[in-house]
Structures are given as C-alpha cells and as structure tokens.
Structure 1
C-alpha cells in the first residue's frame, strides 16, 4: 500500500495546536477556521495510525507519541522554510512581520536599530515588545530576541553582538552624600539597588590579579527591571552594576554616572541575538542581525576614537 504524501499543511496544523494549546488559537495563528485545523489533525492521526492529541470538553493535551512527533515536525517545517528562503535569497527583500523582543533597558538602542531597519526594508513590519520578562520565543511566536547576559537558552541559536564587562556605578549625588567606596569590600556599607532578576541579587564577586573578593550587599530597594534599577541609581538612591553597553558608557563619559573600581573585574556578559530553530534564520531575521552587528561595530569604533 502506498504511503500518503507528506502534507506540510497538516504538520503545520498539528504544530500550531500543540504550541497554541487550543484549536481556536491555532486557527487564528494559521488564519483559517477551527474546523479546518481539527480536520487536518484528525487526518494526520489517521495517516500515522496513532493519537497525537488527547481531547476533552475541558482541555487539550499532547500525547507521548505527539510529543515525540512534535520535535520532528518542527524540524521538517523549519527545513522546508529554509529551503524556500534559500531559493528566494538574492532576489527578494525581507518581507512580512518581524516579531522582536529585548530588555527594557536596551529599548532605546533597539528602537534606533528598528528605525534603520524600517528605512532599509520598507516592506517590513516590526512588532517590538520590550520587556524584562524572559519570553519563550517558540511558544510566543517571536522571530528574534536581543538579550544581555550569559547565553544559556536551550533550543535557541545565538549570535554574539558584543562581549560586555560589568561596571559598578553610582550617581555623583549619591557619592557626595555617602562617600566614594575605594575598595570592593566597602560596598557592604553602602546602599545597593538589587536587580531581583539575577540569581544572586545581593552579592557580587570581584577579581584583580588573581585575587578574588566576594561581597555581601545590603539595601532597601530591589526591582525586577534593569531600566528601573538604572533610573534609581541615576537618581542617587544607591549603587548597582550593569553590563557596559554603549548607553552605560555614554552615561559615564558624560559624567552623569561614576564608574567604581575600574581596575577590578566583576564578570562578563554578552549582548547577543537569539532566534529559535537549528538552521539559518530567515532573511528578515538575518537582515536585522546583520544590521545590529553593523550598529554595534560603529558604536565601538566611535567610542574608541573618542578615548
């Protein structure tokens, strides 16, 4: 008996239901009807001879067989999309909608990249969500995330845009009132503004010439937003540390913030672009990553010229 031909539409319907959680949400995602999605999944189950989804009046759950098949489906669909993208490469401009996210603290930088991207690719639409919540790019249907931190995202590909040191900074107004700490250990006697998103927001490690110092911090304010912590520090509410992005370097160079302990290292992070899948990203995503690389290189060269 001849095996049925592969239907990418039915595979896409199954993946959409598994990720969206309901037939209605999957239909909205695929711009079709609920009955069409339900029928596509039912036909796929008959072709496979196995049940992929458990259906009830209250909930929809993926079966063990469905979980195993879901991973294969994603790879097949990604491969098909990549093949089509390769066929289009060289004669088509990026088009469609780029769904993009980044931390709140980098919103100004990313917004400037989006402005350039829109001028360069006028056919593109951009849906930008700045948030300090770490979104699930696959489940929430994002094409790309600009992130700052260690690169430990399972299931995502990442492109490093810049390697960043961590700078401890304070406003001049705070230092005028409370004095300037000269050694890392003196931070224990100062007001620390903690970023509660970090695994250890109330401690920090420093290193210089092989010597390591672990400092336990104290303070009355914590916030789950890098942008909020930076605003608090800028207003003189306390001391904190941040990745040395171009925006932070500009604040220090302008004298609005003071960098403490420049001879000490306190870890490194990365400014990076992350995207779902195990293959090359589509043209719209690749174009934005390339533009971001250009912008970071340009900012770096301008900063070097000004030193």
Structure 2
C-alpha cells in the first residue's frame, strides 16, 4: 500500500480516465495533458505489473484486471475526497453530485438549480435523475435522494425538509363533461388518472380517515405525467399543490373539495454519508429546502 501511495497521481488519473471515458477528458478535469495522464497510468501499471487499459489508435478500454482494480480503488479515493469535503468551509463546495428526485419537483426546481445553486457553487456539477419510483441510493450510485412521504426503516440518513400540501384537481372541460362532484362519495364514481407505483394505485386518504381508491383506465408513475393527463381532461388527479399552483391560478385546473383537509406528507432528503456528509450534499439539501419553502 505504501508503494501505491507514491503513485497517487496515477491512481487519480486512472479513476478520472475511467469515470470520464477518455484520457483527454481526464486531462481536462485534472488540468493537465492527455500525455501526462497516459504516463501516470503507465507508471501505475508498471508498479502493479498489470495492464489496466487496452489501448488502440481510437480509444481505450478497461481490461478485466483494470475493471477489478477500479471497483476497489474508486470508492476509496471518493471517500478520501468526501472526507476532506466534509470539513471545508461552507462556501467551498466542489465536486460531482448525483441526485434523484420526483419528476414534477425537478421541473419546478430546475431553473433555480441553474440560476442560483450552480451560480453560487461554480466548482460543483451534477447529474439529475427525475423519477418518482424508488431508486437504490447505494447500488445505483446516488449521492442524495429526495422523496415525498413516510420513510421506511433504513440505514440511510434522512432529513425532513418541508411538508407538501396535496390537492385533488380536474380540468374545467372534464367537470363540464362529467359533472362536478358534490360529495366525497361522488368521487368514487369519477374517472381518475391514477398515481401508480410498483403496480399499486395510491389511495386518496383525507385527514378524517375517509379513503377513496381511484378508479380509472390510465395509471401513471410520475407527477409530471399526471399533471399532463389532468390538464388534457383525462380525469381527476391527486398531486402536490405546488406542482399545479400556476395551473390553478390561471384557471386551467380546478381544486376539488378545498374545505376537506388532505394530509401534508414530508419531503425528505436521504443519503448514506453518515456524520461526514460532504458539504456539497448538505448545501444542495439546504438549497432545495429554501426553494420548496417558498411554495408551501
């Protein structure tokens, strides 16, 4: 191990080359030249007495030994980087963020992510996955997840950021065609655009315990899809109020039963870093909280 530490530049060059896909991209990230990256990796290969890459005139690809070495060394280097990041001053965030959040929440946040967060933190870049279904944070390599609803028992570290108001909505054209419901029981006979995850339709549960299981021919697994469908008059939808506020304000949608209270589930941020949370993760969660609190 002590000999390998003498080749720290080669280790970093190797990991960056794999992550970025080429020696040229790794050179841009490290602020050096492709030739310097290639030489650092060549010295590392001599130390290990193994070929890490197959080289051709057009590209490079990992050997089986190179893949095995990357699988072991990349988490170690990233852990060192994250540990240093966790003790930096709050304004010094840098590095890469891989994020998953609900589709319609991402739609609302994306302009501010670009104009506020990335502008304030020029050394941070991010990959944003907008899906409502639950992803596996660790096996799929995410840094932080945002999810609405109660948290299952988990080793992940969770933080509640805000309470999200829910709303039942329909388009004026749908209500004209099918009639506006006058009671909760009327809802049971109306066509819904069902919110469906994992093959199960989410029920609508009012604060007094009254439950309506939506009926409808269309089930969708994203808030983005539900909003599109309800605007097109396909049925009633159960959504976060912030995601349809503009539609309600301009009359494109109508809120049903505004006097019947619906639960306000929490928006949670989840990560697996424990106490040594990288500052870029903490700052992004703080940013999401500050933006969401403007809407609720």
What TM-score comes out, normalization by structure 1 length? 0.67
- Relative distance call for 1:178 and 1:230 in structure 2 (3 A) is same
Query: Is the Cα–Cα contact under 8 Å of residues 143 and 271 in structure 2 kept in the other structure?
Result: yes
Q: 1:254 aligns with which of 250, 256, 264?
A: 250
Aligned to 1:222: 219
| SS of 1:142 mapped into structure 2 | coil
- Relative distance call for 1:202 and 1:188 in structure 2 (3 A) is farther
Deviates more, 1:31-40 or 1:277-286: 31-40
* Deviation of 1:183 (Å): 1.3
In the TM superposition, what are the counterparts of 1:28-39 in structure 2 within 5 Å?
28=18, 33=52, 35=65, 38=68
Aligned to 2:11: none
| SS of 2:293 mapped into structure 1 | helix
Q: Is 2:137 the counterpart of 1:137? A: yes
* Deviation of 1:176 (Å): 1.1
Q: Which runs of 5+ in 1 are unaligned?
A: 9-24, 43-72, 301-307
What TM-score comes out, normalization by structure 2 length? 0.70
| SS of 1:298 mapped into structure 2 | coil
Aligned length: 245
Aligned to 1:289: 285
Query: Is the Cα–Cα contact under 8 Å of residues 162 and 292 in structure 2 kept in the other structure?
Result: yes
CA distance in 2, matches of 1:81, 1:123: 14
Query: Is the Cα–Cα contact under 8 Å of residues 102 and 145 in structure 1 kept in the other structure?
Result: yes
Q: Is 2:259 the counterpart of 1:276? A: no
CA distance in 2, matches of 1:299, 1:165: 10
Residues 147-172 of structure 1 show CA distances to partners (whole Å, capped at 9, x for unaligned) of 22222262222222210232111111
Aligned to 1:57: none
Q: Which runs of 5+ in 2 are unaligned?
A: 6-14, 21-25, 27-40, 42-51, 53-63
In the TM superposition, what are the counterparts of 1:73-152 in structure 2 within 5 Å?
83-89=83-89, 93-115=92-114, 116-152=116-152
CA distance in 1, matches of 2:204, 2:256: 13
Aligned to 1:201: 201
- Relative distance call for 1:291 and 1:188 in structure 2 (3 A) is same
Query: What RMSD in Å do the two structures reach over aligned CA positions?
Result: 3.5
CA distance in 2, matches of 1:124, 1:133: 26
Query: Is the Cα–Cα contact under 8 Å of residues 194 and 202 in structure 1 kept in the other structure?
Result: yes
Query: Is the Cα–Cα contact under 8 Å of residues 174 and 238 in structure 1 kept in the other structure?
Result: yes
- Relative distance call for 1:182 and 1:119 in structure 2 (3 A) is same
* Deviation of 1:128 (Å): 1.4
